[in-house]
Amino acid sequence: MNDLKEFIKGKSLNSVELVVFSIAGSRKLQDEVRLILNNASITIKEDKSILGGYLLKVGDSVLDRSHATRIAQLEKHITISGLDTDSDVIKQLSSLTDSFEPQDSIAEVGTVIALKDGVCVISGLWGTMYQEVITFDSGVKAIAFNLEAESVGAILLGDYTKVKVGDTAHRTKRVISVPVGEELLGRVLDPLGNTIDSGPKITLTDYYPIEKLAPGVLERQPVTQPMQTGIKAIDVLVPIGKGQRELILGDRQTGKTTLAIDTIINQKDSGVISIYVAIGQKLSKVVNLVEKLRSKDALKNTIFVVAGASDPAPLLYLAPYSATAIAEYFADKGKDVLIIYDDLSKHAVAYRELSLLLRRPPGREAFPGDVFFLHSRLLERSVKYSDDKGAGSITSLPIIETQAGDISAYIPTNVISITDGQIFLESNLFNKGVRPAINVGLSVSRVGGSAQTKAMKKVAGKIKVALAQYRELEAFSQFAGDLDESTKLQLTRGQKTVEILKQNQYSPLTLSQQVISIYAVNNGYFDQIDTLNVVIKETQLHDFSKLKYPKLLDSLETGVWSDEIEAQLENLCKEFFATDEH
């Protein structure tokens, strides 16, 4: 009885319940318990399913000494020890039974007291940790989300229609985590790490918690290596480095997803692992993306984490965090990872829904006060690890959808201030046929410049000047007839530059191809080409250089720059643009 005293020590005796197999047959036990509890009021319940023994519930703790639990323990003991069916099974069983020592099981339980779309409030479970997994008898799981003095607010996962008010909730003392491993490459997962494609089942033993503190300053090193997207307008004007966070924002249907997918396609042979997180998108769209990557042979090192438009808000909320946990697994192994969150506007909306259901006070645009922290703690996990930590990296491209181009709305400004730069896509440009529709004036990359290769830096400087001058003069272009020669030249150069920065989807270019194009336009080789023909001419230039200057391409690919390379580039352009009639 001393251990019973130990069990109730420090617990409030306001609600004590004793569950027994038979009330009549347990008088002695009841008296003993009453004695220990100093005659506090006890509810006695009969439950035939426990088969014998008893359960003592004090507050939210349950001391389980039922025969049903002991039998389950014995069963586990026998399974773990294993039976050799060839020799005497009875003998083995009796020795296993002898070596079995029943354990008291102490569980912490609570009761569901309120239930709303996808969330519930549980009384009890006082020791619960933030993001701990809570289970119900129906097998449904939940995650602790709001920890309050009297209750725990939890978000339900899976078929939450099975949970009812009055159900018992159990603590698991584990925070939510996802399975991680190489086998995930090429697969489509839900935010809990279950595969949802038609591939074979995978069993992984490693788990990573979905939320983790971002690496500290000492574990990081500056961003210095380029993450080539294969898109000229980005690699030249707003270069991205490994470990950087670059926001892609724009209205609906402005090519945001396409930029991200092109970047993944460009990583086909670069050794970078890509993770695409679809948050609240139509599944048909996601299937198309998977197929696109498969057809481009880029699916083999890509992982999809999908919370579809019809999934409940808790899954949408979890998706980017679980995807980042998977990214961290690879980065810890020294690999470079690219992660795309498509998109964080829908993520913020899912979070707002959960918060409002759990009655957190609404703030600006009805978002809860910590919506900034929601994204800052996620994006801070992007990193370039120091050499001591294996030099892996996580580069992230979060996507935000704007309304009518308003980048000063609440969520866009938040994420702009968290990231290291933004690429702003504009409907106007998109409709005019400038695709990718990047607004060069409003797009920046705050750290990527130092990650640009020498060759790219050399040609990029000039193009920025040409574009800036063109933007100033553009308004006059309709009166071109009245302008002097040098202004006319600037206008033509600007037009060709804008034209050369256009790029079709799903056709990323290599570093050498980009440098050649930009070099040619900078040095006026495209000035005489009809604007409509620039794209075709560019492709021909690339084919020509591949045929005639393979060595130059190889050295450009390494990103180096020298007078000799420049001279060869000049020869290449002269040869190509002279031999060809325009």
Residue 436 sits in the site that holds ligand ATP (CB under 6 A):
yes
CB-CB neighbours of 7 under 10 Å = 17
334 and 343 in contact (C-beta within 8 Å)? no
273 sits in which H/E element: strand 273-281
326 and 178 in contact (C-beta within 8 Å)? yes
Residue 435 sits in the site that holds ligand ATP (CB under 6 A):
yes
Stretch that binds Mg ion, among 168-176, 224-232, 251-259, 327-335 (CB under 5 A): 251-259
Stretch that binds Mg ion, among 5-13, 250-258, 365-373, 505-513 (CB under 5 A): 250-258
Task: Say how far apart CA 301 and CA 268 lie, in whole Å.
Answer: 7
317 and 354 in contact (C-beta within 8 Å)? yes
105 and 90 in contact (C-beta within 8 Å)? no
Residue 555 sits in the site that holds ligand ATP (CB under 6 A):
no
Count the residues of the shown chain that bind Mg ion, applying the rule CB under 5 A. 2
Among 128, 257, 274, 395, binds Mg ion (CB under 5 A): 257
> Residue length, the chain?
582
Residues acting as catalytic residues: 446
Please state the closest distance from residue 256 (CB atom) to ligand ATP, in A. 4
Token pair of 468 as six digits:
């800036």
Which entry of Mg ion, ligand ATP, none binds 402, CB below 5 to 8 A by partner kind? none
The smaller minimum CB distance to ligand ATP, of residues 299 and 429, is found at 429
Residues 457-496, one symbol each (x = binds ligand ATP by CB under 6 A, - = not), give ----------------------------------------
The smaller minimum CB distance to ligand ATP, of residues 256 and 384, is found at 256
Among 66, 177, 257, 513, binds ligand ATP (CB under 6 A): 257
Closest by CA position to 544, among listed 536, 559, 114: 536
Among 295, 504, 531, 539, binds ligand ATP (CB under 6 A): 504
Residue 345 sits in the site that holds Mg ion (CB under 5 A):
no
Among 61, 254, 443, 452, binds ligand ATP (CB under 6 A): 254
Residue nearest to Mg ion (CB): 257
Task: Say how far apart CA 3 and CA 9 lie, in whole Å.
Answer: 10
b/e map of 185-224 (b: 16 or more CB within 10 Å)?
ebbbbbbbbebeeeeeeeeeeebbebbeeebeeeebbebe
Among 336, 401, 420, 426, binds ligand ATP (CB under 6 A): 401
Residue 108 sits in the site that holds ligand ATP (CB under 6 A):
no
Task: Please tell me what DSSP assigns to residue 237.
Answer: I
The smaller minimum CB distance to Mg ion, of residues 256 and 384, is found at 256
Among 171, 245, 256, 352, binds ligand ATP (CB under 6 A): 256
Please state the closest distance from residue 429 (CB atom) to Mg ion, in A. 17
Task: Say how far apart CA 376 and CA 372 lie, in whole Å.
Answer: 6
Residue 505 sits in the site that holds ligand ATP (CB under 6 A):
yes
Place of tokens 């008010």: 165
76 sits in which H/E element: helix 67-81
Residue 402 sits in the site that holds ligand ATP (CB under 6 A):
no
Residue 343's alpha-carbon distances to 263, 316, 322, 395, 419, in angstroms, are: 16, 10, 15, 16, 14
Residues that bind ligand ATP (CB under 6 A): 250, 252-258, 401, 435-436, 503-505
